[in-house]
Structure 1
Amino acid sequence: MKPACFFDVDGTLYAHPFHEVSQETIGALHALKDHEYFLALNTSRSKEELAHVPSSLMNIGFDAYILDGGASIYDRSMHLRSATPIDDQIVSSIATYCEKQQICWRYSSVSGSYWGNSYITSYMKEAYWQLYFLRMDVKPWNGETVFNIMMESNDRSLASDCTITLFPGCMEIRAKQTDKWTGIQQLSSLSPILCFGDGDNDVCMLEKADIGIAMANASLACKQVADVICGSVHESGIATFVKEYLK
């Protein structure tokens, strides 16, 4: 068995609004690599949404990338290893509903990440720019495999047979029983498992990991299930934890 660490990105490794990963955090990741830990990112970002993450982080040499909230898993060379897509009928119903109601939605697919229609609100457009430095094209869904959906609604009934995470003014939709922990379960022979996170969509993996570490800036739900609360992302909390853990 090989020890493993899984890291959320935004609010955990990556500090907003400064768009930087501290040198202390980078050093901690290298220390874990030196101790032969299996390292992986575990994020709701799609492959395209990782494009502008600082190179100092992407050059660490992660062993795997669990993306789309657990729906897609890539190897160290960023080749797709496995995926749990959303049922086509559900995607179709969401696309139709959003078109009729003029609701903004974004989908992540095999070919990339796109706006599903042209009803893109300034809120969503700026959110994607501020978070990811990403300007997506509009591409109506045409039947391709979809891993993850973000839509400007909090109405769970639109995808009641899916895994849903609510955010202010929008929600993330994944296939049924698909989350960051199920993504981890697809990677074998890893123990102990350490998970680091800050958001509500990290709760599942922090709760089930051998050691769940919540950032000081984490949501209440995250802190409630964590085994350890480290310093905030702005204080390089991961670096402080790793230094003590590897003693």
Structure 2
Amino acid sequence: MNRKLIAFDIDGTLINDNHELLPETKEAIKKMQEAGHMVMCATGRSYPIAKSVLDEAGIKHYILSNGAVAFVDDKQVYSNPLNEEALEKLVQVSDQRDIDIVFNGLMETKLRNEEFQEETKIAMESFGQKLPEIELDFHKRAAVYQVVALLKEEKMDAYEGNFPEFRFVRWHENGVDVLPENGSKAETLKEVAEQFGFKQEDIIAFGDGNNDMEMLAYAGVGIAMENGREELKAVSDFVTLSNNEGGIYHGLKEFGLV
């Protein structure tokens, strides 16, 4: 079998609904690494929020912030930060409309709002993590790779049509990810594959959400979780079991990787 590049989303995919790695998932990752395959995470999480999962899984290759940055062997190999001028405008609009925002830097995640809404706490704690530390002007001292804007659909008029530099991808009823217009997990996975000599047909990707759509469509084999969105399943090559039922192991076994 050719050496494969295997990419896993984290939430709703690699971990179960209790934010845990199943034992068979950890064993499968270990077997694939020992067989010489390149095992990555491709997540919307920033590094501080992804680190505990990466460490437990023993994964040293990862795409963070929905493709804005990538690391191989814990070394940065790709970068696509948000446009600074458009970001400042987004911050101002968010303040005017009482929209809480979180800045994802390279290695830091900061909340802009000292007085935050209950919806913000609900959305951010859905990762199984505490709210980030507060730093109002983090974007003025460091590059920002992704913004998490905490708002319901009815407030999206604040952004829609006003920011051609950005893409807005909803991941929670209270939250959207703000990405570079040309950014996605798929684009960054393609960059990593080209840098490290993988053909498209040798890429396998697992996911469950809106931000996995392009990645699963691009991969040689796109595998959707049973708990994933129906739109995602429609562009996938295979639908495995849910994240609570050993879906990672089941999908890998189906394609002879474990």
TM-score normalised according to structure 2 size: 0.87
- The Cα shift of 1:208 comes to 1.0
In structure 2, what residue type is equivalent to 1:220?
Answer: E
Task: Give 2:209's aligned residue.
Answer: 199
Identical aligned residues as a percent:
21
SS at match of 1:205: helix
Task: Give 1:152's aligned residue.
Answer: 150
Distance 2:116 2:225 in 1: 32
Q: Which of 151, 163, 167 is 1:163 aligned to?
A: 167
- Structure 1 residues 112 and 40, CA gap change in structure 2 (3 angstroms): same
Task: Give 1:139's aligned residue.
Answer: 135
CA RMSD of aligned residues (A): 1.8
Distance 1:207 1:54 in 2: 24
Distance 1:65 1:163 in 2: 21
How many pairs were matched up? 242
Q: Deviations over 1:183-238 (max 9, x none)?
A: 11111211310010000110101011100000010101110100000111111111
Runs ≥4 residues deviating over 4 A: none
In structure 2, what residue type is equivalent to 1:41?
Answer: C
Task: Give 2:186's aligned residue.
Answer: 181
Gaps of 5+ in 1: none
Task: Give 1:122's aligned residue.
Answer: 118
Distance 2:166 2:76 in 1: 22
Distance 2:232 2:106 in 1: 30
Gaps of 5+ in 2: none
In structure 1, what residue type is equivalent to 2:71?
Answer: Y
- The Cα shift of 1:244 comes to 3.0
Task: Give 1:51's aligned residue.
Answer: 51
Distance 2:133 2:56 in 1: 27
Instruction: Say if 1:52 and 1:133, in contact at 8 Å, map to a contact too.
Output: no
1:87 counterpart = 2:95:
no
Distance 2:54 2:185 in 1: 22
Task: Give 2:24's aligned residue.
Answer: 24
In structure 1, what residue type is equivalent to 2:225?
Answer: M
TM-score normalised according to structure 1 size: 0.91
SS at match of 2:127: helix
Distance 2:52 2:124 in 1: 12
- The Cα shift of 1:55 comes to 4.4
Distance 1:53 1:158 in 2: 35
